[in-house]
Amino acid sequence: MAKDIDWSSLGFGYMPTDYRYNAEWKDGKWDKGGLTKDSTVTISESAGVLQYAQTCFEGLKAYSWQDGSIVCFRPDLNAKRLQDSARRLLMPEVPEEMFLDALDQTVKANKDFVPPYGTGATLYVRPFLFGSGPVLGVSPAPSFTFRLFVSPVGPYFKGGIKPLKICVSDYDRAAPKGTGHIKAGLNYAMSLYPGDVAHKNGYAENMYLDAATRTHVEETGGANFIFVTKDGRIITPKSDTILPSITRRSLVYVAEHYLGLKVEERVVPFEEVAEFEEIGLCGTAAVISPIGRIDWKGGSIQVPSGMDEMGPVLSKLRSTLTGIQEGTIEAPEGWIRKIC
């Protein structure tokens, strides 16, 4: 029986559910791992995660389909990306099969928390990995925890999709050749202050430029850019210092193979931004959020698609990808993992 939750009034926040998955790594190997009802974590006061921020995470969603099944979208890519993040932070990799098994077990055990088809709400899944054993000198933790919990979240856009006003940040999102490509709390911690500055100035997000030259578009704190040219091509920034968004990679495929659009993944000079017809941000949370205006110290760009609604090309991309995720449009081979 579905829980008695008002799905339409849910926002994006943590709601503890009945079960979560936990596994421990020690002496070179993972233990068996399994579900627990305990929503708290007890660790040493000197845990690697607390002292030196040795932690990384993932984010994906489970969807209810019209036929009642529950599915996830390309979770194998989240598993691989968590491994990339783990390697850069000197943490043990979670094997892909173990990641997918944790996902299956946890979503199944909490299936009453998966919002029904048609509500626009979804079950957000948060896998994460952290140094749980004690350190004092700077070194990787001696033991690690992999955990995965879920939380129902509401439709991202309540009351329609409104284009955002963003600004070019004076801060860098990540070190020039450092850690920009991994999904780590430390990058988010560093983005809190610049995010607060942007919000206080009336902007929804920061556009970060590349830290090395400050001439190329990178991404925002938590989403990649996708641009549409006046002649209907899709352009998306190529950089090893941005997070490889699974939504962006999927949209690129959808643009080429479902909509027959030309796609260019390349360096995007900031000067070029004023020439684009439509601009969007992409990530798991919103799929695509449109941008209507971009301000910086030297001026302001009014995106031609305007401040009232998402432009036609991004709208088509968005509805095609959400159709694939919700099971109303046939997915490419291997994109959908049926959980139950």
Ligand X SMILES: *Cc1c(COP(=O)(O)O)cnc(C)c1O
By the rule CB under 6 A, 243 interacts with ligand X: yes
By the rule CB under 6 A, 178 interacts with ligand X: no
Nearer to ligand X, 122 or 245 (CB): 245
Q: Would you name the residues annotated as active-site residues?
A: 183
Measured distance CA(24)–CA(45) in Å, rounded? 17
Distances, alpha carbon 53 to alpha carbons 50, 134, 141, in Å: 6, 12, 10
Measured distance CA(179)–CA(242) in Å, rounded? 9
Nearer to ligand X, 133 or 280 (CB): 280
Residue 199: how many other CB atoms lie within 10 Å: 12
By the rule CB under 6 A, 284 interacts with ligand X: yes
- Check if the beta carbon of residue 339 is closer than 8 Å to that of residue 61: no
**Helix ranges restricted to H, the chain:** 48-52, 75-88, 96-109, 185-200, 246-257, 312-326
Nearer to ligand X, 57 or 270 (CB): 57
Name the minimum Å distance from CB 56 to ligand X.
Answer: 10
With contacts defined by CB under 6 A, name the span among 105-113, 139-147, 206-214, 217-225 that binds ligand X.
217-225
By the rule CB under 6 A, 75 interacts with ligand X: no
- Check if the beta carbon of residue 193 is closer than 8 Å to that of residue 46: no
HSE value, Cβ hemisphere, 13 Å, CA-based, for 301: 22
Name the minimum Å distance from CB 167 to ligand X.
Answer: 17
Nearer to ligand X, 56 or 135 (CB): 56
Which residues lie below 8 Å from residue 297, measured CB to CB, with a gap of 6+? Answer: 168, 170
By the rule CB under 6 A, 241 interacts with ligand X: no
By the rule CB under 6 A, 295 interacts with ligand X: no
- Choose, by CB under 6 A, the member of 22, 145, 236, 245 that binds ligand X: 245
Name the minimum Å distance from CB 308 to ligand X.
Answer: 26
- Choose, by CB under 6 A, the member of 92, 133, 283, 327 that binds ligand X: 283
- Check if the beta carbon of residue 37 is closer than 8 Å to that of residue 106: no
Nearer to ligand X, 55 or 245 (CB): 245
Q: In 3-state terms, what secondary structure has residue 166? A: strand
Residues binding ligand X (CB under 6 A): 59, 183, 219, 222-224, 243, 245-248, 283-284
